[in-house]
Amino acid sequence: VLTKLSRDQFKWLNLEDNIHSFTKNMLLQTNLVIETKNLQIFERNFEKYKSNIRFPHVDPSLPSTKDILFQTYENGQLLNDFMDTCKDPKIRKKLAYLGVNAYLKMLFVDNFIHADLHPGNILVHLDEKSPREPIIIFLDVGLTSSLSRSDKKNFYDLFRAIANYDSTEAATLIIERAPNAKEIDEQSKIGFRKEMAVLIEG
């Protein structure tokens, strides 16, 4: 249904290909052998940062299958629950710093990205030795992605525009680098720029 709706109304966003790609990735996510390998990669990538950024550890003595995965139990609160109860601004700021830096490392350093990041896949708890030091734990890593060189540049340029609160530049980048950029009419461009201004600049 979504692909049929997208053909005419949102052709320039290339939604049909994106929906097919998403469906394929969701099917891959059900294979726990893939998730096992992903956990091992993430754990290796973040070895130097494991005091504050962690992933469940896979037990190598218990072989995983496509239906079974043996990993460590991780203690903590779901991100939203933690934020509801933690009122210390320093801890909240530190947690935001950890989350942003973890994602940017995945994206720009490792090019191996957790592609299903949402509050339900993030646990937080405070270090027992340093109770004002949050520890962030990423769960459910079955869905990952890596960017091509051109996609990585596109994302970097867009991220920089958003970080600078430059909605005009962000909208222009998305429009000009869309797969079907030539099919975008002027009215759509104007409307999209207005929506981006509201989203980025408030």
Supply the pLDDT for residue 13: 53
- Three-state DSSP at 177 gives coil
61 plus 140 within the same structural domain: yes
125 plus 160 within the same structural domain: no
89 plus 169 within the same structural domain: no
Range of the domain at 183: 147-202
CATH of the domain at 119: 1.10.510.10
| Amino acid occupying residue 200 | I
Supply the pLDDT for residue 62: 85
Residue positions annotated with a catalytic role: 116
129 plus 82 within the same structural domain: yes
Supply the pLDDT for residue 9: 46
Say how far apart CA 96 and CA 78 lie, in whole Å: 14
CB of 56 closer than 8 Å to CB of 139: yes
- What does the block give as tokens for 37? 């390998």
pTM above 0.85, yes or no: no
* Long-range contacts from 92-101, C-beta under 8 angstroms, 24+ separation: 94/132, 94/133, 94/134, 95/124, 95/134, 95/136, 98/52, 98/53, 98/134, 98/136, 99/136
Supply the pLDDT for residue 3: 44
141 plus 153 within the same structural domain: no
Return per-residue pLDDT of the chain as tens, 202 residues: 344 444 444 554 555 566 566 666 666 667 889 999 999 999 999 999 999 999 999 988 888 888 889 999 999 999 999 999 999 999 999 999 999 999 999 999 999 999 999 999 999 999 888 888 999 999 999 989 898 999 889 989 999 999 999 999 999 999 999 888 888 889 999 999 999 999 998 7
